[in-house]
Chain A
């Protein structure tokens, strides 16, 4: 991309008949920042409600850092963040050159902040601001983490811009060619985007988090003070959120995950997994069967339609290993399965399988560690 840009400016130089050919300041600005130069807008994942709603300048979530590192694989052009609130430039990776935010600020009361933030973050509002940002800055790529937040917004934003997005990307081969899973990850599709603006969402477990090394020269712009501000949207209203809070590491980014399935038999028994997780400094996950049966809350669900995790160590306890569950954890580095059923499909993906009663094995494992 950058080499073709240089080529363009050389041919423009000969057209402009400028004396000092080596000094690009003599080229009019409108020739340097041509409309189709490569630049990326990264949609930042909002901070969880348990943190920082009352902080005016917050830092970036891990999902955003993965999206930024994905953005760096697209091209060498500038990377801009779209966030609900201003970000401290010391909390930015150096690759980020500007921040556009939509004016979320502190009112002083956490509940009011949550409500304000929630309203700003509905898909109808965020997509309208993406459209505003695109009108102002003509990005070539718009990238979001493939979280529930990103997946809610990106297709609407793409539709508004007349584009067809590519979601859940696990590999970036060039600025227009990507790999994404289909059929619950049992097949991979290499796909090439043909439209001039590429809207993409990336699976965060597939991209290392960009280092937060600071970007002191980054500009921070409040979109509410720029041109083309969208009118306040009235299609939906945020009412409230129900968030499970925990001291444990976040499931999506933990290095160790202890996961329970139908074999756990009750919500109380989940405490066995929690003790093991605490010993290993890990997070707790659950299969769909366990969540459906009420043993665990929905945000712990790992699978095709739950969270995708890829920790260093995944220990599946009492999980049979249905296709849909495997699709959410088969990229884990080391997989351990503990199940009393020798024929459970989970043993086919496990690096280490222990055929045993989990109510004996898990406490013993916890005790010995």
Chain B
């Protein structure tokens, strides 16, 4: 089985972003591997370590500026075998390069560069654009089965048994035959820390770079971002001393209880 994992370089989850004239200000801001992509990498590496899965190779794919190579090195240090960097200076946080184009780039990689992919693992969403579209869009372009919000992935004959999160709990879906696209949710696994020896090994692993324009995909933005602004801020609140005061405020000031 050959696995393709999507890894996105995004603003670190703990950063409080500032909104500027051209969108969110990313200068000198800490960037990291998207948490859901990290979970996708972990799942791919776990499958590789599972002899029953018979995984031949895990390839990590990242679309973005040259610093994506660092993101790829993290994925390689966690256990991916090879990396592919599709280079573009277009902003990938919803502003310029959007999900439809990214999914099409993934499709081109699968159809032209890595022709025998059996499983694509991506995060369920990126924490900058919050779109959650690349996984299902790729499955749509490829006419492949999709399992989004996966919280458990098990091998099942020639396919998979996937438990996925729904609005009312979870459901179990069977994929009779690969290839398929799986998007990874929060509770699928706990990603490992890359150990120092693995970080050193990762430096020697191969990373191929291609320019985004090489693939002949329409990269033009379909949904034009006209403006980015901060949401209205809440009125400042107060501290109350005790439960009695709280009840009084809720009853008589906020009028939310009887």
Contacts and interface: CB of A to CB of B under 8 A. Distances in A.
Interface of A: 45, 48-49, 118, 122-124, 127, 147-149, 151-160, 163-168, 177, 181-195, 234-244, 252, 256, 280, 288, 291-292, 297-299, 304-305, 307, 312-313, 323-324, 330, 333-336, 347, 349-356, 361, 364-365, 368-369
22 contacts: A123-B146, A156-B136, A158-B137, A163-B100, A164-B223, A165-B133, A167-B132, A167-B133, A182-B130, A187-B23, A187-B24, A190-B225, A191-B226, A195-B222, A235-B143, A244-B169, A292-B186, A298-B169, A351-B238, A353-B237, A365-B243, A369-B257
Interface string B73-86: 00000000000000
Interface stretch (B8-16, B40-48, B206-214): B8-16
B172 A239 contact: yes
Interface stretch (B53-61, B62-70, B147-155): B147-155
Nearest to A50: B168
Contact of A305 (B186, B228, B231, B246): B186
A354 B17 contact: no
Q: Is the interface of B mostly helix, strand, loop or mixed?
A: mixed
A241 B237 contact: no
B27 interface: no
A151 B175 CA distance: 19
Nearest to A324: B13
A312 B255 CA distance: 10
Contacts of A166: 223
A235 B175 contact: yes
A186 B186 contact: no
B200 interface: no
B200 to A, nearest CB: 32
Interface of B: 11, 13-14, 16-17, 19, 23-24, 36, 93-95, 98-100, 103, 124-125, 127-141, 143-149, 151, 161, 163, 165-176, 180, 185-187, 222-231, 234-235, 237-240, 242-244, 246-247, 249-250, 254, 256-257
Contacts of A195: 222
A350 B167 CA distance: 27
Contacts of B172: 238-242
A298 B187 contact: yes
B98 A164 contact: yes
Contacts of B249: 352
Contacts of B135: 155
A176 to B, nearest CB: 9
B139 A186 contact: no
Q: Is the interface of A mostly helix, strand, loop or mixed?
A: mixed
Contact of A187 (B144, B146, B229, B237): B229
Contacts of A183: 11, 17, 24, 93, 127-128, 130
A353 B240 contact: yes
Given A191-B224, A238-B173, A354-B239, A123 B231 contact: no
Contacts of B130: 168, 181-184, 304
A155 B231 contact: no
B178 to A, nearest CB: 11
B250 A235 contact: no
Contact of A368 (B100, B165, B228, B244): B244
A336 B246 contact: yes
A49 B167 CA distance: 11
* Most chain A CB inside 10 Å of its own CB: which residue of B100, B168, B186, B249: B168
Given A159-B140, A349-B237, 12 more contacts: A155-B99, A155-B133, A159-B103, A163-B100, A183-B17, A186-B17, A190-B227, A191-B226, A193-B222, A244-B168, A299-B169, A352-B238
Contact of A182 (B129, B170, B180, B224): B129
A233 to B, nearest CB: 9
Contacts of A335: 234, 237
B171 A158 contact: no
B170 A242 contact: yes
A23 B117 CA distance: 61
Given A189-B228, A336-B250, A49 B161 contact: no
A356 B244 CA distance: 13
Contact of A155 (B137, B163, B168, B234): B137
B16 A334 contact: no
